[in-house]
Amino acid sequence: MPVRSAATRWRYRVPCMPVEATTPSHGRAVRAAVLAGAAIRIGYLLTKWNQPLRLNDSYYYSGQAYQLAHGRLFRELFVDQPGAEHGPLTSLLMAPFSWGDDFVRWQRMVTVACGITLVWLLGRLGTRLGGRRVGVAAAAIAAVAPTLWMNDGLVMSESVSMLLVACVLWFALDTVERDDRRSQVALGVALGLGALARSELVLLIPLVLLWLVIARRRRGDARVRSVLPVALVAAAVLLPWVAFNLARFEKPVLLTTNDGTTWLGANCADSYRGATMGGWTVLCVVADPDYSPDEEPSVRSARQRSLAVHYVRDHLSDVPGVVLARVGRTLDLYGLRDLVHQDVGEERPRWAAWAGVVSFWLLAAAAVLGARLVRRRDRWLLLLPVLLVLCTTVLFYGGHRIRSSAEPTVVLLAAVAVASGRGARGYRDQP
């Protein structure tokens, strides 16, 4: 039996060695997956080519992009007053394409482009985390997974935010491995842009900073201040939007004025029992007796937030069950009919929504195995978006859009499990 050299044994234990990632066949396989993903997404886009927007969040993103293209900076769509219902990034990306009579088609192309780029980047990340087979598996899964592509072609933020989460993972690895200023700046930019795409991603900033500190200490670098540039750059990216909001609303607004509506829609009688338990329902919002479209947005948000807090206080005994229902919804273990109904209301096909449920069950099961196979440092980094989603679910509500930030992690960890086969032990790393 041949005896392995020390170098060979080391390569086997850590299959993310650069030499594993540079073969022509590997590059062709990843490119094929990206092309397949592009074909699926473009075909999906064509089914929506002449489909008008529905009155949901897509109407807001599209309307804000149209206003930006015509010189109006973040105003309410139906009332002439300041608006910040959602983060600005998605609308800003769509603004250059928001001209002419068919601008919605071009706006949808923006999210399709983000989805295709995500397939490529997850292939790169998979290669970096586990070698050639993991990279190909990650790109292939990302190309066909309904949980990813059914968000592409929608005029919403999920495609943008998922791509930025993947960018955060990539640049976080760069920062801990290279320890150069360029990597730190890139990571800070990715973190800040993520929060501008979906406001809950602001929680990813302290989580990533903590991971960096721990990873550095494990490598013998006790200089906690070395992660300070990441925090400063992230803050600098957020500062213009925060300052803009603080200057134009009556009450303090940092990222959005939608937190009050989100909390109220998740904390009322209709979201504490029945088919919508643990979710968000507009019935809670329209039941607000003092609601008025003319009300100043920050004042309305503060009042709705107060109503939600009072409801929680009055129904504390129901909260544990509601929280379990929220987590169950995010994990596709509870309220499936209502979740699919919400997907359909957001312009996702019913068959794709059910396919997404089944594919998530399969990928999540594989991801649990994959999490046991990757090295400890990478495992904890990949689990940060999952922790973020769980926190957001507990605090707000459960649903597919809430889960979207964790989808890149699910794909990557599932790819590790799929690619490992009988050689699963080769993906382990020593503590």
pLDDT, one tens digit per residue, over 44-53 is 999 999 888 9
Q: How many CA atoms lie within 13 Å of 388's alpha carbon, on the beta-carbon side?
A: 30
Q: Output the CA torsion sign for 404, 408, 410, 414.
A: positive
The whole-model pTM stands at: 0.91
- More confident call, 194 vs 294: 194
What three-state secondary structure class fits 25? helix
Residues of the chain with pLDDT > 90, as a percent, come to 77
Radius of gyration of the chain (CA): 22
Q: Tens digit of pLDDT for each residue in 165-186?
A: 999 999 999 999 887 889 999 9
The gap from C-alpha 166 to its chain's centroid, in whole angstroms, comes to: 9
Tokens describing residue 354: 């059910």
Q: Does residue 313 contact residue 24 with C-beta atoms inside 8 Å?
A: no
Q: Tens digit of pLDDT for each residue in 106-153?
A: 999 999 999 999 999 999 999 999 999 999 999 999 999 999 999 999
Give the CA angle between residues 161, 162, 166 to the nearest 5°: 115
The whole-number pLDDT of residue 223 equals 64
- More confident call, 329 vs 16: 329
- Residues contacting residue 425 through CB under 8 Å, at least 6 positions apart: none
Q: Tens digit of pLDDT for each residue in 244-253?
A: 999 999 999 9
Grade residue 425 by pLDDT with cuts at 50, 70 and 90: very low
Q: Does residue 176 contact residue 212 with C-beta atoms inside 8 Å?
A: yes
Q: Does residue 155 contact residue 53 with C-beta atoms inside 8 Å?
A: yes
Residue 354 pLDDT greater than 50, yes or no: yes
The gap from C-alpha 20 to its chain's centroid, in whole angstroms, comes to: 29
User: Considering the chain, what is the average pLDDT of its residues?
Assistant: 90
Residue 14 pLDDT greater than 70, yes or no: no
The whole-number pLDDT of residue 59 equals 92
In angstroms, the CA 251 to CA 246 distance is 8
Q: Does residue 208 contact residue 223 with C-beta atoms inside 8 Å?
A: no
